[in-house]
Structure 1
Amino acid sequence: MAQLSTEVIGDERGTLLAFVEAQRTAIREALDGLTEEQAASRPSASELSLSGLVKHAAEAEFHWLRMAQQRPNERFRSNGAWRDGFRLTDDENIPSALAFWEEVRAELEAFIAAVPSLDDTFPLPEAPWFPKDGKVSMRWLLLHLVEEYARHAGHADIIRESLDGTKAMG
């Protein structure tokens, strides 16, 4: 299970990235020791699976990274295919989903290290749940990832415990 670092991260960027990584780790570790079939199963009332959560988390982080970079998302999925973002499809498997997430993690961390300030902003897309012409900061992005991953780490805990009784905290 996730270990807290004994290293003290001295600056805000490092601290926020450490919190994001702690939540990523909690989601990833829910897969420990499972087969592809177990990780794809949906043992609770939810339609979520552990492998689907990993894929969703990686793609969500990639999506937010591309928005912050103000670059097109080359993995964008049309609204009609949104369910495919919550399950492994075709030739996808847990190692490939984790490898993609690792690439995204490295790119996000390099991007955040390079931005002049966490106060730098980027525009939000047009959506009913965002303010018209809204912008958010890089700090907001990192806090949003902590929030998103913490929610999904809780989902992962419930799914894993439903599968085989394994508990994240003991």
Structure 2
Amino acid sequence: MSTERTDIASTLGKHRALFLSTVRDLTDEQGLLPSTVSALTLTSLLKHVADTEKGWAEFITKGPAALGGDVDWSAFDGDGGGGGEFVDTRFVVEPGETLAVLTARYAEVARTTDELVATVDLDSAQPLPKAPWFEAGANWSARRVFLHIIAETAQHAGHADIIREAIDGAKTMG
């Protein structure tokens, strides 16, 4: 792989490992504990990170439909969605979605994304779906999507580190 592809893959791998270290040696019950005023749990974050990476990787090859490109966001008002509650289902843990199941799912997603990093034309681009948080008419290259996946993973690794430390004092780094 080129230096650029190697840098993308190794940086993403580093942040995935930091994230996954936050769920090491936890029970499924601990994984579901909200340890701050947020409803986030380590299990819900693990599901979100895996599903979000999968969606963005599919966006590279399939376009905006992979990210809900057909969703009508006209009722979304920025604070919960047009008078109703906006629920990001990528955070909702379903029965049977244990830490082991979600960790395995994340590993499969990672393998697929890593293969894409190694093979896709980094300059290939797709139009972003219409959503209030995206610039209208913008396109993102595969390179830009990979950088976004890295940023998303790193951000949630930080969230997970805080949650884990509040549960039992364990820290990702330190």
Give TM class, smaller chain: 0.7 to 0.9
User: Residue 157 in 1 paired to residue 161 in 2?
Assistant: yes
User: Residue 109 in 1 paired to residue 131 in 2?
Assistant: no
Kept in 1: contact 2:59–2:67 (CA 8 A): no
Kept in 1: contact 2:55–2:67 (CA 8 A): no
Kept in 2: contact 1:67–1:123 (CA 8 A): no
| 3-state secondary structure, aligned to 2:126 | strand
For 2:144 and 2:68, locate their aligned partners in 1 and report how far apart those are by CA, in whole Å.
23
Deviations 1:104-138 (A, max 9, x none): 1111111222213x222111111122122210111
User: Residue 142 in 1 paired to residue 146 in 2?
Assistant: yes
Aligned with 1:128 (options 125, 132, 140): 132
**Percent of aligned pairs with the same residue?**
33
1:23/1:125 Cα in 2 relative to 1: closer, same or farther (>3 Å)? same
Residue equivalent to 2:50: 58
Deviations 1:59-83 (A, max 9, x none): 000110111111654999x897844
For 2:16 and 2:28, locate their aligned partners in 1 and report how far apart those are by CA, in whole Å.
19
The AA in structure 1 aligned to 2:49 is A
| 3-state secondary structure, aligned to 2:170 | coil
Residue equivalent to 1:95: 100
Aligned with 1:45 (options 34, 37, 50): 37
For 1:120 and 1:14, locate their aligned partners in 2 and report how far apart those are by CA, in whole Å.
18
* TM-score (structure 1 length as normaliser): 0.84
Residue equivalent to 1:5: none
The AA in structure 2 aligned to 1:65 is A
Unaligned runs of 5+ in 2: 74-84
Kept in 2: contact 1:51–1:87 (CA 8 A): no
For 1:10 and 1:68, locate their aligned partners in 2 and report how far apart those are by CA, in whole Å.
19
